[in-house]
Amino acid sequence: MSTFTVNGKTHRFDGDPQTPLLWYLRDVSRLTGTKYGCGMSLCGTCTVHLDGEPVRSCVTPVSQAEGKAVTTIEAMSEDAVGRRVQQAWLDLGVAQCGYCQAGQIMSATALLRDNPAPDDEQINQAMSGNICRCGTYARIRQAIHRAAATQEDEA
């Protein structure tokens, strides 16, 4: 039995503790905002926050979440930085198909928490684990800058 919270609610899972968090979230909890893209920590579509840190849920066994707080895209609107990132994404029309964007937003939010005003180089560094096959990278960079700027405005 593994016990942890997802978006503030307590979850208990008595299945195989080696089950990756991704499949627990998607298939068991039916929180489908977190996406599968590679299953090998190569694409970032499955990014969630574990105690606030971005992790690839496809390679994070449920056992590793024991006693911790999992946050997914579904709760990002309630997060001050997360909401600003989402708004910047909308403002700049970042998404094309949108499939990668939950992961992109989770990574961008984590980046901005650590570094409120990243430059392009730092953005490239922090976001290079997130593939977007539609190629929305130029706008992702702009949107992160925009989210950083609105953050400053409100500070």
Partner 1 sequence: MNTPVDDLLLANVSRRHFLKGLAAGSALVLAARWDLALGEEEKEYGADAMPHGWVDDPNVFIRIDADGTVTVTNHRAEMGQGIRTSLVMVAADELGADWDRVRVEQAPADQEKYGNQNTDGSRSMRHWFAPIRRAGAAARMMLERAAAERWGVPASECHARVHAVVHAASGRELGFGDLAAAARELSVPPRERLELKPQSEWRYIGEDAGPAYDVKRGSVVRPKAIDGEDIVTGQAVYGADVAFEDMLYAVVARPPVYGAMLRSVDDGEALKVPGVLRTVEIDGTGQPAGFKPLGGVAVVAENTWAAIQGRKALKIDWNLESAGDNAAYDSKAYRKQLQQTARAPGKVIRDEGDIESALADAAERVSATYYMPHMAQAPMEPPVAVARIVNGRAEVWAPVQNPGATRSGVAKRLGLEPEDVTVNVTLLGGGFGRKSKPDFAQEAASLTKAFDGRPVRVQWTRDDDLHHTYFHAVSVDRLEAGLDADGRALGWRHRTLSPSIGSLFAPDPEHIAPFELGQGFNTMPFDIPAIRLENPEAPAHVRIGWFRSVYNLPHAFAIQSFAAELAEAAGRDHRDYLLELLGPSREIDPRTFGDQWNYGENPERYPIDIGRMRAVIEKATAEAGWGRDLPKGRGLGLAVHNSFVSYTAVVFDVELGDGGGLIIHSADIAFDCGPQVNPERIRAQLEGACVMGIGIAMQSEITFSEGRVQQDNFHQYLVPRIDRAPRETRVHLINPDSEAAIGGVGEPGLPPVAPALCNAIHAATGRRIRRLPVGDQLSA
- 70 Ramachandran zone, left/alpha/beta (phi>0; psi -120 to 50): beta
- 110 touching partner 1, by CB under 8 A: no
Please tell me whether residue 80 binds partner 1 under the rule CB under 8 A: no
Told to check if 19 binds partner 1 by CB under 8 A, we report yes
Instruction: Check: CB of residue 43 under 8 Å from CB of residue 130.
Output: yes
CB of 105 to ligand FES, least distance (A): 11
Whether 24 contacts 13, CB under 8 Å: yes
Question: Does residue 97 belong to the site contacting partner 1 (CB under 8 A)?
Answer: yes
Among the residue ranges 5-13, 30-38, 61-69, 82-90, the one whose residues contact ligand FES (CB under 6 A): 30-38
**8 forms part of the interface with partner 1 (CB under 8 A):** no
Q: Which two tokens stand for residue 135?
A: 């190629």
Among 114, 133, 138, 152, binds ligand FES (CB under 6 A): 133
CA 78, CA 29: separation in Å to the nearest integer?
A: 20
Q: Is 21 in the site for ligand FES (CB under 6 A)?
A: no
46 binds ligand FES (CB under 6 A): yes
In sequence order, the 6+-apart residues with CB closer than 8 A to the CB of 154 are 84
Length of the chain: 155
105 contact, one of partner 1, ligand FES, none, CB 5-8 Å limit per kind: partner 1
Task: Figure out which of the listed residues 140, 147, 148, 151 binds partner 1, where binding follows CB under 8 A.
Answer: 140
Q: Please report which helix (H) or strand (E) contains residue 150, including its range.
A: helix 137-154
